[in-house]
A and B are shown apart, each in its own frame.
Chain A
Amino acid sequence: MKKKLLTMILAGAMAVSMMAGCGSNTSSDSNSGEKKDDTASVDTSAEGDKELSVYAWDENFNIPALKAAEAAYQKKDPDFKLNIITQSQSSDVEDAVTLAGSSGDYSTLPDIVLFQDHYINRYVHDYPDAWQSVDDADVNWDDFSAEKISYSTIDGKHYGFPVDNGTVIFAYRTDLLEQAGYTIDDVTGISWDKFDEIGKAVYEKTGKYLLCMDGDGNDLPYMMLQAEGVSQFKDGKANFVDNQTMVDVINVIAKLAQDNVLYLANDWSDYTNQAIQGDMVAGVMNGNWIIPTIEQVAENSGKWEITSMPTLSGKEGYASNGGSSLYITGNCKKADLAKDFLAYTFGGGEGAAETYDAALTNGGVISTWAKAGESDVYQKGVEYFNNQPIYSTIVEMGTHVPTVEQSDYHYTARTQVAAAIHNIIDGADTASELKNAQDQVDFAMEGGNN
Chain B
Amino acid sequence: MQKGGIFLNTEKKYKSVQGKQRAAGWAFLMPATILIFVMSFWPMIQAFIMSLQTGSSANLKWANPITFNYTRMWQDKLFRGAVFNTFFYLIIQVPIMLVLAILLAQLLNNKHLKFKGLFRTMIFLPCATSLVGYALIFKSLFATQGLINDVLVRLGILETNYNFLGTTGSARVVIILALLWRWTGYNMVFYLAGLQNIEYSVYEAAKIDGANGWKTFWHITVPLLRPTIIMTFIMSINGTLQLFDESVNLTKGGPANSTITMSHYIYNNSFGEGVANFGYASAMSFVVFIMVAILAFINLKVGDKRD
Contact = CB atoms under 8 A, between A and B. Distances in A.
A122 B31 CA distance: 44
Contacts of A119: 274
Nearest to B279: A447
A19 interface: yes
Contacts of B242: none
A15 B274 contact: no
B57 A126 contact: yes
A98 B31 contact: no
Most B C-beta atoms less than 10 A away, residue of A8, A119, A422: A422
A422 B59 contact: no
Contacts of B227: none
Interface string A338-377: 0000000000000000000000000000000000000000
Interface string A92-127: 001100100110100000000000001100110111
B82 to A, nearest CB: 13
B30 A450 contact: no
Contacts of B24: 4, 7-8, 11
A102 B278 contact: yes
A18 interface: yes
Nearest to B32: A18
Nearest to A116: B274
A448 interface: yes
Nearest to B257: A419
Interface stretch (B71-79, B85-93, B187-195): B71-79
Given A102-B276, A448-B56, A448-B277, A4 B17 contact: yes
B273 interface: yes
A216 B27 contact: no
A101 B55 CA distance: 13
A83 B148 CA distance: 46
B23 interface: yes
B271 interface: yes
Interface stretch (A158-166, A221-229, A263-271, A309-317): A263-271
B269 to A, nearest CB: 9
B135 to A, nearest CB: 12
Contacts of B255: 215-216, 266, 419, 422
B124 to A, nearest CB: 30
A18 B31 contact: yes
B27 A11 contact: yes
B218 interface: no
Nearest to A115: B274
B174 to A, nearest CB: 11
B257 A448 contact: no
Nearest to B145: A274
B205 interface: no
Interface in B263-291: 271, 273-278, 280
B54 A450 contact: yes
B72 to A, nearest CB: 6
Nearest to A128: B58
A32 B21 CA distance: 42
Contacts of A420: 256
Given A278-B145, A450-B63, A444 B276 contact: no
A15 B20 contact: no
A269 to B, nearest CB: 9
B27 A8 contact: yes
A101 B276 contact: yes
Interface string B51-75: 0001111110001100011001001
20 contacts: A7-B24, A8-B27, A11-B28, A14-B31, A98-B57, A101-B58, A122-B274, A126-B56, A127-B56, A266-B166, A266-B251, A267-B252, A274-B144, A278-B145, A412-B275, A419-B255, A419-B256, A436-B77, A447-B54, A450-B64
4 nearest A-B residue pairs (beta carbon): A102-B57, A126-B56, A419-B256, A411-B273
Given A15-B31, A266-B251, A436-B77, 7 more contacts: A102-B58, A216-B255, A266-B252, A270-B143, A270-B144, A450-B54, A450-B55
